[in-house]
């Protein structure tokens, strides 16, 4: 049995077949922006916190653009940040966009070879090394470029200013050859814009991330070149401050590199959880259990992850933990939907509250007060799931006297005059559910048993 939750599959032909987050319209909207730059360079940042599905979004966007006949490049910056200069990895990724196995591989091949050659020379020489550019100029750069660039004194007596100026000329050579590569796209029956995706930039080491942005700005700023950055803008601002100091105006500084920002809307957590259950194989697991309601567990996990504002990756960890618990729980053992959802989520985000609930050391209404104090809880606990959560906690955690006082309070509410239908219905529901939970639950035995299993499962790390 695999306990690794597989990534959402994004196929080339049907990129939205597994669109658990309902992002088809958003992807097509962004594809329209990227595909219509009017020939100008573009740097677009897809901004969303870590763990909110940016990589899947970028994957879908790339597949859609491929279907629209764009040539795309995908570059995972985090996986490449072990190299000394991002230019190395970026040029390697660009080279893969023009594979030599194609029948039309000669188109752009010469220019791509020059791009790689100049990049290699720039990296070998460094910013303070003197270079010599052929007198033919940028466009008609001769084939003996490396010899021309390497024929320098490069010693302590070199003119630093002249070295800088000639290094700038070498950068112009790089851009000129890169532009020639991009202009070959129509000859490959592709749209004229080359789309270069940079994913997980905010996870890179700070100096690498800043160096990469500088390379994009100074080396890749050519017509019909569009960059799509997948970033957590706040994290990228923190990276900027780590490199240049806390006093820097990081948002303003980053505007030098980014033309447009697109804030990725928050996805539907319930849709994602249902999809995660399917990917984890839990649909089949629950089908064989007579004493567990999968749909109820999904609903209550959704309620709690929304209250806590959990990321998609945090939700996936909860689903994997649930799968571990099911694997060691006999099929004839009951799993109360609200209990297991509550304990799975609490163990992931609030160990102290988990312990207090698991060992029945907290008043149930204090638990509800805690939930209501969270900024994302507004309105959520007033729905039927919230009422069910409250009454389960009262039935499970309260002593007989407190449970009786809670029941009396609901009856007093029903006797009031001027109640709205909603108020009356909620009081009646609380009484009905309290009676039901008091019959079905077992004085904390089942809750403690499930909590112990979940606590052990929390020590398993994938």
Owner of token pair 């849709």:
271
Q: Give the least confident one: 34-38, 143-147, 215-219, 303-307.
A: 143-147
In a domain, 218, yes or no: yes
Q: Which residue has the higher pLDDT, 225 or 155?
A: 225
Kindly state the DSSP code that residue 432 receives in the 8-state scheme: H
User: Per-residue pLDDT for 462 more than 80?
Assistant: no
Residues 59 and 204 in one domain: yes
User: Per-residue pLDDT for 130 more than 60?
Assistant: no
Residues 376 and 425 in one domain: yes
Average pLDDT over residues 153-174: 62
Residue 167 has a pLDDT of: 67
Average pLDDT over residues 272-284: 90
For 411-435, letters b (16+ CB in 10 Å) and e give eebeeeeeeeeeeeebbeebbebbe
Say how many domains are in the chain. Answer: 2
Average pLDDT over residues 52-77: 94
Query: What is the helix, strand, coil percentage profile of the chain, to 5?
Result: 60, 5, 35
User: Per-residue pLDDT for 141 more than 50?
Assistant: no
CA atoms within 13 A on the CB side of 409: 11
Residue 212 has a pLDDT of: 94
pLDDT in tens, 187-229: 889 999 999 999 988 888 999 999 999 999 989 999 999 999 9
Residues 403 and 373 in one domain: yes
Residue 172 CB partners (closer than 8 Å, separation 6+): 138
Residues 224 and 325 in one domain: no
User: In this structure, how many other beta carbons lie within 10 angstroms of the beta carbon of residue 457?
Assistant: 19
User: Per-residue pLDDT for 448 more than 50?
Assistant: yes
Residue 445 has a pLDDT of: 61
Owner of token pair 């930039």:
201
Residues 378 and 432 in one domain: yes
Average pLDDT over residues 358-362: 92
Residues 86 and 220 in one domain: yes
Average pLDDT over residues 226-248: 92
Query: Which residue, 337, 344, 286, 287, is CA-closest to 314?
Result: 344
Judge whether 197 and 75 are in contact, CB under 8 Å. Answer: yes
User: In this structure, how many other beta carbons lie within 10 angstroms of the beta carbon of residue 109?
Assistant: 15
Average pLDDT over residues 370-386: 93
Judge whether 64 and 32 are in contact, CB under 8 Å. Answer: no
Please report, for the domain that includes residue 57, its CATH number: 3.40.50.300
CA atoms within 13 A on the CB side of 286: 19
Residue 136 has a pLDDT of: 33
In terms of Cβ atoms closer than 10 Å to its own Cβ (0-12, 13-18, 19+), residue 408 is exposed
Highest mean pLDDT among 48-52, 58-62, 204-208, 423-427: 58-62
Residues 251 and 327 in one domain: no
Token pair belonging to 455: 């606590």
Residues 246 and 274 in one domain: no
User: What sign has the CA pseudo-torsion 371, 376, 379, 380?
Assistant: negative
H-helix or E-strand spanning residue 413: helix 400-415
244 vs 390: CA distance, rounded Å: 50
Average pLDDT over residues 72-89: 90
User: Per-residue pLDDT for 427 more than 60?
Assistant: yes
348 vs 345: CA distance, rounded Å: 5
CA-based Rg of the chain, rounded to a whole angstrom? 30
Task: Give the domain-ending residue among 228, 263, 298.
Answer: 263
Task: Give the domain-ending residue among 212, 242, 263.
Answer: 263
Token pair belonging to 377: 């809880």
Total length of the chain: 462
Strand order in the sheet with 260-263: 71-76, 194-199, 225-231, 42-47, 260-263
Q: Give the least confident one: 72-76, 140-144, 209-213, 257-261.
A: 140-144
Residues 444 and 373 in one domain: yes
The string of DSSP codes covering 247-316 is TS-HHHHHTTT-SEEEEPPPP-HHHHHHHHHHHTTHHHHHHT-SS--HHHHHHHHHHHHHHHT--HHHHH
Owner of token pair 């303003």:
252
For 297-324, letters b (16+ CB in 10 Å) and e give bbbbbbbbbbbbebbbebbbbbbbbbbb
Average pLDDT over residues 13-40: 93
Kindly state the DSSP code that residue 80 receives in the 8-state scheme: H
Q: Which long-range contacts (CB under 8 A, 24 or more apart) does 88-95 make?
A: 88/119, 88/123, 90/196, 90/212, 90/215, 90/220, 91/115, 91/116, 91/119, 93/196, 94/181, 94/196
Residues 351 and 434 in one domain: yes
Task: Give the domain-ending residue among 220, 243, 263.
Answer: 263
pLDDT in tens, 10-25: 999 999 998 988 899 9
Residue 106 pLDDT class (50, 70, 90 cuts)? low
Token pair belonging to 107: 């188109």
Q: Give the least confident one: 34-48, 97-111, 312-326.
A: 97-111
358 vs 347: CA distance, rounded Å: 10
Please tell me the pTM assigned to this model: 0.76
Residues 206 and 57 in one domain: yes
Q: Which residue has the higher pLDDT, 109 or 223?
A: 223
Average pLDDT over residues 354-376: 94
Distances (CA, A) of 202 to 79, 236, 244, 261, 316: 12, 5, 15, 15, 21
Residue 112 has a pLDDT of: 84
Average pLDDT over residues 111-115: 83
Residues 252 and 275 in one domain: no
Distances (CA, A) of 166 to 122, 126, 159: 11, 11, 11
Give residue 253's domain range.
24-107+184-263
Residue 113 CB partners (closer than 8 Å, separation 6+): none
In a domain, 164, yes or no: no
In a domain, 143, yes or no: no
């Amino acid at each position: 049995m695999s306990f690794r939750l597989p990534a959402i599959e994004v196929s080339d032909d049907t990129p939205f077949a597994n669109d658990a987050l309902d992002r088809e319209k958003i992807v097509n909207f962004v594809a329209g922006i990227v595909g219509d730059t009017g020939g100008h360079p573009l740097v677009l940042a897809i901004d969303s916190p870590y763990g909110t599905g940016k990589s899947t979004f970028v994957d879908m966007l790339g597949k859609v653009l491929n279907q629209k006949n764009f040539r795309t490049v995908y570059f995972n910056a985090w996986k490449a940040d072990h190299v000394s200069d991002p230019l190395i990895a970026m040029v390697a990724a660009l080279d893969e966009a023009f594979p030599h196995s194609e029948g039309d591989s000669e188109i752009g091949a010469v220019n791509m070879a020059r791009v790689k050659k100049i990049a290699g020379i720039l990296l070998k020489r460094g910013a303070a090394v003197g270079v010599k550019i052929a007198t033919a100029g940028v466009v008609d750069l001769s084939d003996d470029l490396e010899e021309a660039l390497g024929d320098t004194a490069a010693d302590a007596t070199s003119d630093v200013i002249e070295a800088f100026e000639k290094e700038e000329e070498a950068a112009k050579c790089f851009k000129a050859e890169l532009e020639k590569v991009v202009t070959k796209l129509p000859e490959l029956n592709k749209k004229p814009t080359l789309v270069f995706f940079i994913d997980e930039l905010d996870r890179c080491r700070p100096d690498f991330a800043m160096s990469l942005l500088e390379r994009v700005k100074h080396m890749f700023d050519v017509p019909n070149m569009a960059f799509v950055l997948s970033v957590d803008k706040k994290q990228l601002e923190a990276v900027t401050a780590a490199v240049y100091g806390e006093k820097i105006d990081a948002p303003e500084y980053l505007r030098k590199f980014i033309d447009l920002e697109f804030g990725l809307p928050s996805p539907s957590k319930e849709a994602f959880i249902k999809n995660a259950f399917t990917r984890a194989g839990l649909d089949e697991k629950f089908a064989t259990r007579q004493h567990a309601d999968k749909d109820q567990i999904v609903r209550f996990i959704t309620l709690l992850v929304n209250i806590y504002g959990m990321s998609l990756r945090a939700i996936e960890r909860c689903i994997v933990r649930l799968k571990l618990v099911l694997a060691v729980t006999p099929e004839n053992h009951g799993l109360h939907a609200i209990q297991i959802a509550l304990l799975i989520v609490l163990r992931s985000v609030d160990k102290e509250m988990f312990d207090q609930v698991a060992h029945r050391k907290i008043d149930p209404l204090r638990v509800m007060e805690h939930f209501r104090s969270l900024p994302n809880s507004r309105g959520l606990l007033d729905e039927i799931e919230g009422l069910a959560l409250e009454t389960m906690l009262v039935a499970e955690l309260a002593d007989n006297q407190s449970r009786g006082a809670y029941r009396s309070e609901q009856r007093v509410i029903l006797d009031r005059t001027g109640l709205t239908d909603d108020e009356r219905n909620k009081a009646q529901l609380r009484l009905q559910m309290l009676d039901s939970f008091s019959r079905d639950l077992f004085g904390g035995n089942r809750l403690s048993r499930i909590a112990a299993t979940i606590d052990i499962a929390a020590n398993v790390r994938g």
